[in-house]
Amino acid sequence: MTFTVQFLIDVLSLGGAYALMALGLVIVYGILKLVNFAYGELIMVAGYAMFLMGGSGLPWLVMAGVAVIMAVIAGIATDYVAFRPVRAKSVTAVLITSFAFSTLLQNAALLFISPRPRPVPLPDIFSQTVTIFGAITPVRNLITIVAAIVLLALFAWLMRRTVLGIAMRAAATNFTMARMLGVPANLIITSAFAISGFLAGVVGLLWIGRIGTVVPGIGLEPLLVAFIATVIGGMRSMTGAVIGGFLLALIDTTLNYTLSQELLKFRDAFTFSLVILILLWRPDGLIKGPASGQRT
Amino acid sequence: MKRHLLTVAILGGLIVLLVLVNQWLGIRLYDRIATNLCISLVLVLGLQVFMGNSGILSFAHMGFMGVGAYTSAVLTIPAQMKGMALPDLYPFLQAVQVSPYLAIAAGGIVAALVAAALSYPLMRLSDAAAVITSFALLVVLYTVMTHWSQVTNGPRTLFGLPKATDLPLAAGVAILALIAALVFKESRTGRLLRASRDDETAAAALGAHIPSLRWRAFILAALFAGVGGALWGHFITSFSPKAFYLKETFLILSMLVIGGANTVTGAIVGTFIVTIAYESLRGFEGVLNEAKIMSNPVIGLTEIVLALAMIAVLALRPGGLFPTREIGALFGRKKTRQENAG
């Protein structure tokens, strides 16, 4: 019983974080059909915003809010710097510019802050633990689960019920047609980046809450996770991204419990080989999204 | 044909000129930079063979450079050093010690074999899926290199490689790579592959078997990467897996993209420009650190400038400096035009 609860909470909290990361990546991919390599750096931006406000004495929630807003701004900046100038030209060009933008942000952090880990202020509740059915669980895992449920519900509502969400889904299905029917392309794309930044900001707080410090390279792991999750779930489907996130968490947690120490070192190699295999078996991922229209 | 010879002559001349100027100056620091430049040329030309002809971005290139470097290291570290450098090495490899020149070739061949074995299924994918899998491949190779301590000494630095690479050798290999890249580009495989780059559906309809074409280019690219990695290993003589990851990928990619991925000329010109810019910026960083203008040591400035240059080039000239034509063709065209006018 204890083990089951422990395992379940591990999977759900890790999966919740993974699902949010994947969602932030796939919302941009869905519309533009382009991968944003600078996605992990949005998480880094949120982390450094927290670090810089660390000594200010503001309430934690205010700092967290500002950090998320910084991530949103960084997301929009990605659009303006890396995507808009080259969007219409070539797929490869955009991939490279977003990779370059990611390097730019990372090295800016190296240059202006420090290559060494920096502490991030965290509320006390993040370090407390509770016992559920005999399983000792950090409270932050429960916070992650709740945050994931709330955000996923909010996101589903946004995409289904609001004009913005419907326009975004229309643009993801058939961009040209949506434009012809009066959906403003640039606004939709910028909103997608803003939402991507918002999700990255929230995930960043939860993610950094596990470690307590922020380094310039912190974005790499979330980026890889988001990649795998979206690829497993289906690059075009947002539901797929969420399912992919939870599935990846299930695989990771199971490997953590079952692999021997010797093999655990190679865990990343295992998961990435799995991605390659899934892509070979189903190049569109497990869940097929709407048929893709032409890019801008 | 004539214009290709002209291209080889101009670009090869550039490399020879580099060697001659360096001999004439005789400064050791420049010797290091020039050798690094020639090794980068081999790597960038390898990336160009795949990326330029197939139009698919590949992140895995650096991983194959690592495969080449480690293969060559295992084959050449002197037997008595192996006990220290690679304490967990498999017994049957412990006594092996071959000439570095053989080992450099072996590094390329092993990298090509690994690429051949791993990549065939991946070549069916295009666009974003292809990029993500190549990224995944890089992570897999890096993870293996970091943890397979029997062969790579794990994440720790591997040392004890005999120093065998000097500027003439690196320059010679670079010229060979230049010729091979041009020959591949104009070969039947290369032409069909470029047709598939420009229009996948049309090329497939004409009977081009795209995965197999891409596969051949990928293997050749890995061969270049492996040789480049082995050359680099015998130049630097000690390295760790970190040398074959994202930062270096970014550097190699920026060389290719700024010059122009579609042409061999672009690959070479880009490598020259980026290496010179990189080394001057590094020097500038050093000066800043000496002067202690900022309280922390200045790092990362070089990458910031390179990233900005990359974004600017792609926004203004998406094809790079030499987007479609080789330099020989450009000169040839000018001449014909003058003759016509005259």
Question: What's the pLDDT score for residue B269?
Answer: 93
Mean pLDDT, range A94-122, rounded to an integer: 87
Helix/strand/coil for A118: strand
Among residues B64, B211, B132, B222, the alpha carbon closest in space to that of A278 is found at B132
Helices (H), A54-184: 60-78, 91-112, 139-161, 163-173, 175-180
More confident position, B342 or A105: A105
Q: How far is A87 from chain B (nearest CA, A)?
A: 9
Q: How far is B108 from chain A (nearest CA, A)?
A: 23
Q: How far apart are CA A259 and CA A23, in angstroms?
A: 29
Cβ–Cβ of A35/B132 closer than 8 Å? yes
Tokens of B253: 């990619």
When scoring A276, A280, A295 by the number of chain B Cβ atoms within 10 A, the one with the most, hence best to mutate, is A276
Helix/strand/coil for A95: helix
Cβ–Cβ of B307/A227 closer than 8 Å? no
Question: What's the pLDDT score for residue B341?
Answer: 57
What would the pLDDT profile of A177-204 be if each residue is shown by its tens digit? 888 888 888 888 899 999 999 999 999 9
Q: How far is A129 from chain B (nearest CA, A)?
A: 33
Give the strand pairing for A129-132 and A135-138: antiparallel
Question: What's the pLDDT score for residue B301?
Answer: 84
Question: What's the pLDDT score for residue A150?
Answer: 93
Q: How far apart are CA B71 and CA B210, in angstroms?
A: 30
Q: How far apart are CA B209 and CA B203, in angstroms?
A: 8
pLDDT above 80 for A132: no
Cβ–Cβ of B128/A34 closer than 8 Å? yes
Mean pLDDT, range B190-195, rounded to an integer: 93
End-to-end CA distance of chain B: give it in Å, rounded: 24
Q: Nearest by CB to B304, which of A35, A108, A272?
A: A108
Q: How many residues does chain B have?
A: 342
CB of B181 closer than 8 Å to CB of B271: no
CB of A47 closer than 8 Å to CB of A120: yes
Q: Nearest by CB to A224, which of B139, B254, B304?
A: B139
pLDDT above 70 for B337: no
Q: How far is B278 from chain A (nearest CA, A)?
A: 14
Cβ–Cβ of A283/B261 closer than 8 Å? no
Q: How far apart are CA B323 and CA B317, in angstroms?
A: 8
Q: How far apart are CA B282 and CA B286, in angstroms?
A: 6
CB of A170 closer than 8 Å to CB of A183: yes
Q: Report the chain B residue with the minimal C-alpha distance to residue A113.
A: B296
Q: How far apart are CA A100 and CA B149, in angstroms?
A: 32
pLDDT above 90 for B326: no
Q: Mean pLDDT lowest for which of A137-141, A157-161, B80-84, B291-295?
A: B291-295
In the chain, the amino acid numbered A157 is: W
Tokens of B301: 């400035």
Residue B121: list chain A partners with CB under 8 A.
276, 280
pLDDT above 70 for B329: yes
When scoring A33, A39, A103, A224 by the number of chain B Cβ atoms within 10 A, the one with the most, hence best to mutate, is A103
Question: What's the pLDDT score for residue B338?
Answer: 64
Q: How far apart are CA A214 and CA A120, in angstroms?
A: 7
Among residues A124, A150, A129, A152, the alpha carbon closest in space to that of A141 is found at A129
Cβ–Cβ of A106/B300 closer than 8 Å? yes
Residue B342: pLDDT band (50, 70, 90) is very low
Mean pLDDT, range A79-95, rounded to an integer: 82
Q: How far apart are CA A50 and CA B193, in angstroms?
A: 49
Domain boundaries, chain B: 2-245
More confident position, A135 or B122: B122
Mean pLDDT, range A75-96, rounded to an integer: 84
Residues of B207-239 as b/e, b for ≥16 C-beta within 10 angstroms?
Answer: ebebeebbbbbbbbbbbbbbbbbbbbbbbbbeb
Question: What's the pLDDT score for residue B336?
Answer: 64
Q: How far apart are CA B245 and CA B263, in angstroms?
A: 25
Q: Nearest by CB to A100, which of B56, B311, B318?
A: B311
Which residues of B have a CB under 8 Å from any CB of A?
A: 51, 55-57, 121-122, 124-125, 127-129, 131-133, 135-137, 139-140, 143-144, 147, 246-247, 250, 253-254, 257, 261, 296, 298-301, 303-304, 306-308, 310-311, 314-315, 318
Q: How far is B314 from chain A (nearest CA, A)?
A: 6
Helices (H), chain B: 2-25, 28-54, 61-76, 79-85, 91-94, 100-119, 127-147, 149-152, 167-186, 188-198, 200-205, 210-236, 246-259, 264-291, 301-316, 327-341
Question: What's the pLDDT score for residue B173?
Answer: 95
Q: Nearest by CB to A96, which of B125, B136, B257?
A: B257
pLDDT above 70 for B340: no
- Per-position DSSP letters for B18-43, written without gaps between them: HHHHHHHH--HHHHHHHHHHHHHHHH
Mean pLDDT across chain A: 84
The full set of domains in chain A, from first to last, is 2-281 (1.10.3470)
Please give the share of chain B, as a percent, with pLDDT higher than 90: 41
Cβ–Cβ of B315/A97 closer than 8 Å? yes
Question: What's the pLDDT score for residue B212?
Answer: 93
ipTM exceeds 0.90: no
Tokens of A136: 């000792």
Residue B147: list chain A partners with CB under 8 A.
265-266
Q: Nearest by CB to A82, which of B51, B140, B311?
A: B311
Q: Nearest by CB to A272, which of B57, B140, B250?
A: B140
Q: How far is B303 from chain A (nearest CA, A)?
A: 7
Q: Report the chain A residue with the minimal C-alpha distance to residue B305.
A: A104
When scoring B132, B253, B310 by the number of chain A Cβ atoms within 10 A, the one with the most, hence best to mutate, is B132
pLDDT above 60 for A125: yes
What would the pLDDT profile of B202-259 be if each residue is shown by its tens digit? 999 988 899 999 999 999 999 999 999 999 999 998 899 988 988 889 899 989 988 8
> Which of the given ranges, A126-130, A233-237, B257-261, has the highest pLDDT on average?
B257-261
Residue B61: pLDDT band (50, 70, 90) is very high
pLDDT above 80 for B6: yes
What would the pLDDT profile of B147-177 be if each residue is shown by its tens digit? 888 888 888 888 888 888 889 999 999 999 9
Cβ–Cβ of B314/A96 closer than 8 Å? yes
pTM beyond 0.80, yes or no: yes
Cβ–Cβ of A93/B254 closer than 8 Å? no
Please give the share of chain A, as a percent, with pLDDT higher than 90: 21
Q: How far apart are CA A50 and CA A213, in angstroms?
A: 10
CB of A113 closer than 8 Å to CB of A51: yes
Q: Nearest by CB to B122, which of A115, A265, A276?
A: A276
pLDDT above 50 for A296: no
Question: What's the pLDDT score for residue A294?
Answer: 42
